Structure 1
Amino acid sequence: MDWTAQVDGYCERLAPGLWAEPLNAVTNLAFLIAAIWVWRRSGGLAPVRVLAAVLFAIGVGSGLFHTFATRWAGVADVLPILIYILAYIYFANRYFWGLSRLWAGVGTAVFFPYAAATVPLFAMVPGLGSSAGYAPVPLLIFAYAVLLRQSLPEVARGLAIGAAVLCVSILFRSLDGPLCSAFPLGTHIFWHLLNAVMLGWMAEVLRRHLAGRGARG
């Protein structure tokens, strides 16, 4: 595989070059801003700081992909997103469900067969396209919200809000190609902006829970 091969997958990109996707590139600053906000609000809580660091990496990786637009940059784009998902599942299992480290890790590993089973189903949805790879995530978050609604209603509400924002974000990602002729700048920028808000909010949901748990001793 040629890791330096160019990737042209977005409406805004019309030619090779670092600044062929200026809006897609610049909107990655939203991830960096969200990461700094999460870090400053973390109160020294290690799990929240881990999420902040990975969120910063998401902004850097996505920025590389929307400037260099190569296969290696594509890996730099998606890998931090996967790490954030796995880290959040682990922290949710550990702190929302109170599982041991071992079982929290086992529950995190279950994400892989879950994604393998659900992505092909979402790929059958007309118009979803490559966004099918992300669609299992809001479904999983909604499932956690439903299951936690009795024991941790505030957490459940926060998770549901995050899942709803992510659904809208995925919608904009899916519309980038179909609306290209009518909206040449593309809708991928809204995927960036909404995801930055959503990921920052999800970290805040965890922070509030951990801070409240600590306050109760």
Structure 2
Amino acid sequence: MNWLAPVDAYCERTGPDYWSEPVNAVTNLAFLIAALVLWRRLRGPEMAMGRALAAVLFVIGIGSWLFHTHANRLTGLMDVLPILGFILLYIFAATRDYFGARPWVAALVTAGFIPYAAASVPLFSMIRGFGSSASYAPVALLILIYAALLRRTGILIVSLSFRTLDQPLCGVPPFGTHFL
């Protein structure tokens, strides 16, 4: 396999030259800026996972820049491997922090993403129009599953917030906030 063989995967690409995907390349600055902003805001030992996610986000920006300026199989790996790393870190953190799972349970759920993706990507590939984005569809589905599972928790948090604000805001809205 020739790792340096040119890859033409996006409409914008006009050829194998360095600046053949200028918009895709430049938009990767957003990843770098977001990562730097987050890194500066995440202070203290309790923010270690957030800093790890910010660091991987920065690497995603670099890897994607490399792919969109030097589109070949090697830079393609430099593009997708950091994204996979981010996904796995996020699944671990979300499972541990949102569901209160023990770290070993969060690690098992995270490890389960690989067979889940391996089984579902071919299914998404059969759906017309997904194209190369079929490999990201399992992530979107997983986000929807997590959102559905956390829905009650989110509603409970909002409900408790309005209940808590009822007395401090008494009289500001005529009926208080408890009913909300």
For 1:63, the equivalent position in structure 2 comes to: 65
Which amino acid is 2:43 matched to? G
Quick one: distance in 2 between partners of 1:74 and 1:86? 19
Alignment of 1:69-108 (within 5 A): 69-108=71-110
Deviations 1:154-182 (A, max 9, x none): 899xxxxxxxxxxxxxxxxxxxxxxxxxx
Which amino acid is 1:112 matched to? I
Deviations 1:5-62 (A, max 9, x none): 1111111111221111111111110110111122122233101100100000000000
Q: Is the 8 A contact 1:86 1:108 kept in 2?
A: yes
Unaligned runs of 5+ in 2: 159-180
1:113, CA displacement in angstroms? 1.3
Following superposition, which runs of at least 4 residues in structure 1 exceed 2 angstroms of deviation? 151-156
CA gap 1:22/1:46 in 2 versus in 1, 3 angstroms: same
The number of residue pairs the alignment matches comes to 156
**TM-score computed with the length of structure 2 as normaliser:** 0.82
Quick one: distance in 2 between partners of 1:136 and 1:120? 10
For 2:18, the equivalent position in structure 1 comes to: 18
Q: Is the 8 A contact 1:145 1:155 kept in 2?
A: no
Quick one: distance in 2 between partners of 1:54 and 1:3? 23
1:149 partner SS: helix
Q: Is the 8 A contact 1:61 1:80 kept in 2?
A: yes
Quick one: distance in 2 between partners of 1:10 and 1:143? 29
Which protein is bigger by CA-based radius of gyration? 2
**RMSD between aligned alpha carbons?**
1.7
Pick aligned residue for 1:49 from 48, 51, 54: 51
Unaligned runs of 5+ in 1: 157-217
Quick one: distance in 2 between partners of 1:74 and 1:54? 16
1:2 aligns with 2:7: no
Quick one: distance in 2 between partners of 1:154 and 1:41? 28
Deviations 1:50-104 (A, max 9, x none): 0100000000000000111111100000000000000000001111111222111
Structure 1 stretch displaced more, 56-65 or 136-145: 136-145
